[in-house]
Every structure is written in C-alpha cells, then in structure tokens.
Structure 1
Amino acid sequence: MTTTWTAAFRSAPVSAHESMTLIHPSRAFRDQTLRQIVRVHGAGDRLRVRLSNQYGKQPLTIARTHVAAHDTRSSITPGTDIAVTFAGTAQVTIEAGAEVVSDPVDFAAAGKTDLVVSTYHASDAGLATYHPFALQTGYVVAGDAVSRTHLTGAEEVEPRFYLSGIDIEAPEGRQVVAAFGDSLTDGVGTAHGAHHRYPDLLAGKLDDTFVLNLGIAGNRLLSDVFGERGIARFERDVLAAPGVTHVVVQLGINDIGMPGMLGLPAVSAGELIAGLTSINDQAGRAGLTTIVATVSPFGGADGVSPGFDTSDGERTRQLVNEWIRAHCDTVADLDHALHDPAAPTVLRPAYDSGDHIHPNDAGAEAMADMLARVITTSA
C-alpha cells in the first residue's frame, strides 16, 4: 500500500498586530510551557507537527516539543508522550515569516484523535503568530513541563499559538476537504470545546475523508485586517496543504456587513463575484473540486453588530447568491439551508446562536449535512 503525507489538521495563522487582538490578544512566552489540544480527522501511523512564525518580527526558538494523546483538561494520557524533533534535534529556531515541519513521529491516529502538543519556550520572541478563536482551551505553566502528565496551576488561554498544522502519513488517494472561510467555518457561535464546528461535524459524515478547518473569524474575501484577505491567503492555506482534493469556499458575508460597522466604503456584488472567480480559477488550475457556498442571512444583526445589516447589503447578498447559483459548477446553498422559510433574510431561529449572524450547534449540523450531500454527489 502506497502512503503519502496528508494534511489532517490546519489552523490558519493570524498576525498579532491585526484588529483581532481587540477580541483575543496575542502574547509572548518566556520560560513557559504551552499545551494545546487539537482534534485530528484522519487515520495513519505516523505524523508531523507544523509550527509557524509567519507573522513574527524576530526568530522564534522553541526548546522542546512533545506530542501525546489527550486525557482531560490539561492532562495527557499516560504512556503516550513522545518527543518531537526537527532535523534530528529537540530545539528548533523558526525565522520570521517561516514555518517548520517536524521529523516524522510514530503515533497512531484513528480517524478522530484528540492530540496534545506541548512546547517549551525558554526565551521571549515577541508576540506570537496565532489563531484567535480556537474554541478549545489551551494551558500555560511556568518552566519546562512538556512531559508532565498533569499540569498544576496552569493558566487557561483561548487562542491557539504557533501550532499551524498536523500531517498524517496515510494511504494515497484519501479525500481531503479544505473548509476555507470566515467565522462560520471557524465555528463562532458553536459550543466551546465540543467540536461542533461544521468542519468537525462534516468529517464525521464522510468516510475516509480528512477535513481541514481553514476558517478565520472576521476574514474577508477582498480586504485584510482580520487575517489576510481570502484571495491572498488561498495559495498558502489551501493549495500548499498536502493532499487537498476539495475546497469549500465560504466567504463574503464580512465583505458585505463589515463596511457598515467600520465606516468603510461598501463592496459591490461585482467586486465579490470577481474575487470568487479568482479563487475558483486558482482551485481549478490546481485540479481541486471547488464548492462555493452562498452567503448566509444576517437580517436583524444590527441589534448586536450595528451597521452590519443594511438594505444595500441585503441586495448585494442576493445578487452574489444569484450569481453563485447560476455560474458555479458545485454549490453549497447555505442560504437555503440556514434561512427562516417564513423570513428568508434572517437565520432560522432554531439555528441562530443569538447574534443573527452565526449558526449555533444545530445550524452547524445543518451546514455539515448540506456539505456532506454536495461532496458525496460531486464525487
């Protein structure tokens, strides 16, 4: 059986200096151990860890890295702790703007595995490259505790720092779906620590399929600020991930709604259509099956996010969705899946997390159900 390295987990990196820091700020680490829990979708017997200093301002040195199976909270399962090396050494220095990939580690993953990655940071390298909405608690403790089974007195943290991916050596030909989007993909609105983001749920509905969550809360298709704009980060985050066969493009809602919130010029339907066309073309040249999602409803959002919901914005949403339905080869009609049949400009109440933008756990399930049908049909 031929095997190949396949992306099994990804966390899209964000700069510590962007506006997202107003919500979950980044930080630096000195003589501290950082322990982070991630769920990996996909089966294999060996893995590699990816660490990123994409937005660092100086070289980042990590003294030690270990991987283990997760037990509960900050604890690892006894007997599963393994040291991770980089080019044969425990310590690794990552230049500013770079990412490193570890040496292979013998570690069996069985379709749905909760891993713990512990890193010891002996020296301060400034604010970390990070992912603000991990929706999974991480832990920080003083000193070198990468091998410790239980952490005592650990500080809890909400973002994910430095950890950008896990690859698994898997049988060649596995289907790999990259979920590329904003906060709806990132899982905002779903239960913390429950793995109810739509990509997590989608992975459970597709046999022998790896699903990568490449959502960034606040991300826009055409403009930077909350992560690099979609058309700029697509090559790095999707096309560079090994083994990707499908991509779900779920972007546009923030391009429509955020200008009203932030006092910026409105984005036209034509501009959004051009951006979606650019991504569709990039994916096509790479041989990916591209699934373009319609823009979901945001009616009533002004009560929570003033300026997001406007009549002009709703017209733009409708025009973009009409174009997606008419011109994209494979469509995930999330608008249809999530809207209230009695009031199509708003989320179905049973799917609304409360801010009238983000689906709750039930809404994420509806998204995953639709995507599973579309991907199965497109195979």
Structure 2
Amino acid sequence: MTTIWTAAFRSAPVSAYESMTLIHPSRAFNDQTLRQVVRVRGAGDRLRIRLSNQYGKQPLTIARTSVAAHDTRSSITAGTDTAVTFGGTAQVTIEAGAEAVSDPVDFVTAGVSDLAVSTYHASDAGPATYHPFALQTGYVVAGDAVSRTRLTGAEEVESRFHLGGIDIEAPEGRRVVAAFGDSITDGVGTTHGTHRRYPDLLAGRLADTSVVNLGIAGNRLLSDVFGERGIARFERDVLAAPGVTHVVVELGLNDIGLPGMLGLPAVPADDLIDGLDSITRQAARAGLTTVVATLTPFAGADGVSPGFDTPEGERTRQHVNKWIRAHFDVVADLDRALRDPAAPAVLRSDYDSGDHIHPNDAGAEAMADIVARAVRESEGPS
C-alpha cells in the first residue's frame, strides 16, 4: 500500500510583532523548556514535526525536541518520550521567515492521539512566531526538561509557540480537510481544553478523515493585521500542507465588522466576493474539493465589540451570502444553521457563547453537522 505524508495537525502562525500584539502579545524563551499538547487524527507508524520561525526577526535555535504521548496536564506517558532530529542532529537553527521539518520519527498514532511536543530553547531568539488562542494549555519550565515525565511547578501558557504542524505517514487516498477561517473556525467561544471547536467535531463525523484547523482569530480575507490576509496566506497554509484534499472556507466576517471597530472605511461586498472567488479558484486549480460557508449572524455584538454591528455591515453580509448560495453548487450554510428563526440577523441564543458573534459548544456541534453534510455532498454519490 502506498503511503504519503498528510497533515494531521496545523497551527496557522500569527506575527509576533505587528499583529496580535494588540490584544495578546507574544513572548520569548531563554534556557526554558516548552511543552505543548496537540491532538492529531489519523493512524500511522511515523510522524514528523514542523517548527516555525515565520515571523521571527533573527535565527531561532532549538537545542532539543521530543514527542511523547500526553498523559495529563504537563505529564507525558512514561516510556513514550521519543527524540526528534533535524538532518540527523538534535539541534536545529531556523532562519527568520523559515520553517524546519524534522526527520521522520517512528511513533505510532491511532485514530485520535493526544501528543506532547517538548522543545528546549537554550537562548533568546526574540518574540516567538505564535498562534494566540490555542484553547489548550501549554507548560514552561526552566532548563532542559524535554525528557522529564512531569514538569513540576510549570508556568501555564495559553498560546501556541513555534509549533507549526505535525504530519503523519498515512495510506494514499485518505481525506484531509483544511478548515480555513477566522475565530469561528479557530474555536473562540468553545470550552477550553475540551476539543469542542467545529473542526474537532467535524473529524468525528467524517470517517477516515484528518481535519486541520487553519483558523486565526481576527483574520480577514482582504486585510492584514490579525495574521496575514486570507488571500495571501491561502497558498502557504492550505495549498502547501501535505495531503490536503478538501478545504472549507469560512472567512469574511471580520472584513465586515473590524473596520467599524477600528474606525476604518467599510469594505464593499463586491470586494469580499472577489476575494472568495480568488481563493476558490486557487483551490480548484490545485485539485481541491472546496466548500464555502455563509457568513454567520452578529446582530447585538456592539455590546461586546463596539462598531461591529451596523446596518451597512448587515447589508453586506446578506449580499455576500446571497452570492455564495447562488454561485456554488455546495454550500455550508452556517447562517441558516445558526441564526434565530424569529430574528435572522441574530445568533440563536442557545448557540451564543455570550458575545453574539462566536458559537458555543452547541453551536460548534451544529456547524460540524452542516459542514460534514456539505463535504459529503461535494463528493457526489458514493
């Protein structure tokens, strides 16, 4: 049976400097071990680790890296700690703007596996390339504790640092879905540490499927600041990810809402349509099966996010959604799934995390149902 490398986990990087620092700053590590817990989906006998210095301003040296089965909190399962090498050596130096992919590591993963990736940062390389809302606690201790079973007295961190992805070697033909979007895809509003993001739940609804979460909180389709704009990062985050067969595009809501919050001009609906059209054309040229999601309700959000909810913004949302429904044969209609039937501009109260924008766990369940149905429909009759 032919095997290929497929993406089993991804963490879309965000700038350590000009982007999310406004609300959630990055940090540096010096003579410290960082242990990060990730969930991968897919059975395999080998894996490889991706470390990113995408937004670093100087070379990043990581002295040691290991992967192990996660036990609880900062602990790994005894006897599973496995050294990770890069070009045959433990230490790797990653130039600014680059990524390092490890040598293949013999490590067995089941259908769902929780792994702990530990890295020892011997020297300060400046603020880390990071993903701000991991929704999974990581752990930091002084010194080289990469192989320690439990990190006693560890500092807890809530972001993902330098860890760009994990690939597994899987049989050719496996479905790999890239969930490409903003904070709604990222999982903001769902319960921390419980894997209740809609991409997590989607994987459980699609047999023999890996789902990689490429959502970034605050991300926009057409403008930078909260990560690179979607039309710029699509090639790196989706098209370059190994083994991707499908992409779900959930992006554009922040292009509507953030200008009002930041005092910027409104974005015309036709500009958003052009951006979505550009992304789906890129996906088609790459041979990916594409599902586009409608933009979800946000009425009432001004109480939490002033300037987000405006009449003009709602008209733009409706215009874009009308185009999506008319333009694509298969649509994940998240708007219809999540809106209040009595007030269609409003997120259903039982799906609302409290800010009137982000779905809660129940809302994520509804999203996963709709997206799973759309993915199956996009593939035609079985």
1:120-168 per-position Cα deviation (integer Å, ceiling 9, x unaligned): 0000000000000000000000000000001111000011000000000
Alignment of structure 1 residues 211-226 onto 2, 5 Å: 211-226=211-226
Return the letter of the residue paired with 1:58.
Answer: Q
Give the Cα separation in 1 of the matches to 2:143 and 2:20: 29
For the pair 1:280 / 2:280, whether they are aligned, the reply is yes
Alignment of structure 1 residues 167-182 onto 2, 5 Å: 167-182=167-182
Alignment of structure 1 residues 345-360 onto 2, 5 Å: 345-360=345-360
- What residue in structure 2 maps to residue 267 of structure 1? 267
- What residue in structure 2 maps to residue 340 of structure 1? 340
Deviation of 1:188 (Å)? 0.1
- What residue in structure 2 maps to residue 13 of structure 1? 13
- What residue in structure 1 maps to residue 195 of structure 2? 195
Give the Cα separation in 2 of the matches to 1:181 and 1:135: 16
State whether residues 11 and 165 of structure 1, in contact with CA within 8 Å, keep that contact through their aligned partners in structure 2.
Answer: yes
Give the Cα separation in 1 of the matches to 2:242 and 2:151: 34
Alignment of structure 1 residues 91-130 onto 2, 5 Å: 91-130=91-130
State whether residues 8 and 211 of structure 1, in contact with CA within 8 Å, keep that contact through their aligned partners in structure 2.
Answer: yes
- What residue in structure 1 maps to residue 255 of structure 2? 255
State whether residues 180 and 249 of structure 2, in contact with CA within 8 Å, keep that contact through their aligned partners in structure 1.
Answer: yes
Give the Cα separation in 2 of the matches to 1:8 and 1:154: 27
How many residue pairs end up in the alignment? 379
Give the Cα separation in 1 of the matches to 2:18 and 2:206: 35
Give the Cα separation in 2 of the matches to 1:58 and 1:18: 16
Q: Helix, strand or coil for the counterpart of 2:139?
A: strand
For the pair 1:295 / 2:291, whether they are aligned, the reply is no
Write out the 4+ residue segments of structure 1 that deviate beyond 3 Å after TM superposition. none
Give the Cα separation in 2 of the matches to 1:18 and 1:96: 15
Return the letter of the residue paired with 1:73.
Answer: R
Deviation of 1:41 (Å)? 1.4
1:14-64 per-position Cα deviation (integer Å, ceiling 9, x unaligned): 111134123321001000000000010111110000000000000000000
1:56-103 per-position Cα deviation (integer Å, ceiling 9, x unaligned): 000000000000000000000101000000000000000000001000
Return the letter of the residue paired with 1:158.
Answer: E
- What residue in structure 2 maps to residue 70 of structure 1? 70
Q: Helix, strand or coil for the counterpart of 1:79?
A: coil
Deviation of 1:301 (Å)? 0.2
State whether residues 65 and 85 of structure 2, in contact with CA within 8 Å, keep that contact through their aligned partners in structure 1.
Answer: yes
State whether residues 135 and 158 of structure 2, in contact with CA within 8 Å, keep that contact through their aligned partners in structure 1.
Answer: yes
Return the letter of the residue paired with 1:29.
Answer: F
State whether residues 68 and 77 of structure 1, in contact with CA within 8 Å, keep that contact through their aligned partners in structure 2.
Answer: yes
Deviation of 1:376 (Å)? 1.4
Return the letter of the residue paired with 2:306.
Answer: P
State whether residues 291 and 378 of structure 2, in contact with CA within 8 Å, keep that contact through their aligned partners in structure 1.
Answer: no
Deviation of 1:329 (Å)? 2.8
Alignment of structure 1 residues 25-174 onto 2, 5 Å: 25-174=25-174
Q: Helix, strand or coil for the counterpart of 1:78?
A: coil
Give the Cα separation in 2 of the matches to 1:243 and 1:44: 14
Q: Which blocks of at least 5 consecutive residues in structure 1 are unaligned?
A: none
Q: Helix, strand or coil for the counterpart of 1:202?
A: helix
For the pair 1:309 / 2:313, whether they are aligned, the reply is no
Return the letter of the residue paired with 2:328.
Answer: C
Give the Cα separation in 2 of the matches to 1:94 and 1:271: 37
Q: Identity of paired residues, percent?
A: 83
Return the letter of the residue paired with 1:177.
Answer: V
Q: Helix, strand or coil for the counterpart of 1:204?
A: helix
- What residue in structure 1 maps to residue 371 of structure 2? 371
Give the Cα separation in 1 of the matches to 2:159 and 2:24: 7
1:266-299 per-position Cα deviation (integer Å, ceiling 9, x unaligned): 0011000000010011001001111010000000
- What residue in structure 2 maps to residue 227 of structure 1? 227
State whether residues 256 and 267 of structure 2, in contact with CA within 8 Å, keep that contact through their aligned partners in structure 1.
Answer: yes
Give the Cα separation in 2 of the matches to 1:23 and 1:267: 23
Give the Cα separation in 1 of the matches to 2:75 and 2:286: 41
